[in-house]
Structure formats: structure tokens, C-alpha cells
Structure 1
């Protein structure tokens, strides 16, 4: 339903062997999560998409990239009042005890190593 979706769909189908069907029986289905997961994204050429962004003035540059425009209230993706990424990260970390987290992670790692020992 968008140029980006079309570009990815065209190139992904070449990788997955998922065809388009025939004129009498077209296959316009999307890609499954498994197909998306199996893609070699290094082989997906997004140059057409980047050209569209540049032509429309939406191509990101160092001058227009900052945390507010990417994630905060200035973001076009922001559907409502949303704190920027830094504020959300601080909020998520409140009440967490770093020592407990490290201790729990070390215990889990120790258990996994012991389980793999002969």
C-alpha cells in the first residue's frame, strides 16, 4: 500500500521464490513473518526508496536528525503527546535495581553454562 512496501515486496519475492501468480490467477498476498525473517536484508536495495525520500524533502540529514524530531512530539510518527526517547528511558528505569538485575543475569548465565557442561 506504499512505495516502500512495493519495493520490499518485489525484492523479497525474488529471494523467497514467492511468485506473483499469473494474469488469470494473480498472487498479491503479502509476505509471511517467516519469509520476512528469512530475508537477506543486505540484498534488499532501497535506493529507489531513498530517492523518493530525497525528492520529497524527507531524506534524513545531520541537520534534521535529533532526538526530538525522531522520537518526540516533533516526530511525524507521533500520534499524540509522547515523551522523547530519553524521557521514556528514564521513566522505564525508575524502580529498577541494577545490582539485582546483574545478580539475576549472572545466576541465569551460570545455570546455562552448568547445563551445557558434560
Structure 2
């Protein structure tokens, strides 16, 4: 939605048509390459993502990763 509204419509100036003649096509590869993604505002997307996702704490993630590495190492040494 962000790419369609801000990229296609805002940057490339490719409209969506009207009620009697809608233009619902997607974006071509060439058009996508012309969009400056640094100019897109993903604030609403990031807000929704942060509200709806439980992101693990760094320590929890680090400990989980260390434990998984230990498991893999012990499996490999047992072979």
C-alpha cells in the first residue's frame, strides 16, 4: 500500500483512474526501480509492526542463540 500510494502515485505520478475507468494494475519492474525508497514514509507500518509484534529482549535472544549453538556443537561432536 505504501509503495503503491507514495511510490506509484506520489513519485511516478501514475494514477489509479476513476470509478468508471479504474487503473488497478501493479507496478512494473522498471517502475519499481525508479522509486526512491528513501523517500517513502513507513511510519504507519512501523507503528503497526511495533504494536502487534512481541520483539524478544536482546539478552533473551542472545541466550537462546548461545543454547542453540551449544546443541549444534554437541550434535556434531557426537558424530
- Fold-level similarity (TM above 0.5): yes
Select the structure that is richer in helix: 2
Indicate whether 1:27 and 2:20 are aligned: no
Aligned length: 62
Distance 1:55 1:32, change over 3 A: same
Structure 2 unaligned segments of length 5 or more: list them: 66-79
Indicate whether 1:7 and 2:2 are aligned: yes
CA distance in 1, matches of 2:22, 2:41: 24
Give the deviation of 1:62 after TM superposition: 6.3
Q: TM-score, structure 2 length as denominator?
A: 0.64
Q: Note the aligned Cα RMSD (angstroms).
A: 2.6
Distance 1:61 1:27, change over 3 A: farther
Q: How does 1:75-86 map to 2 (within 5 A)?
A: none
- SS of structure 1 residue aligned to 2:6: helix
Q: What are the Cα deviations for residues 75-109 of structure 1, in whole angstroms up to 9, with x where unaligned?
A: xxxxxxxxxxxxxxxxxxxxxxxxxxxxxxxxxxx
Q: How does 1:38-117 map to 2 (within 5 A)?
A: 38-57=34-53, 63=58
Structure 1 unaligned segments of length 5 or more: list them: 1-5, 70-118
Q: TM-score, structure 1 length as denominator?
A: 0.45
| Bigger relative contact order (CA 8 A; separation at least 6) | 2
CA distance in 1, matches of 2:12, 2:51: 31
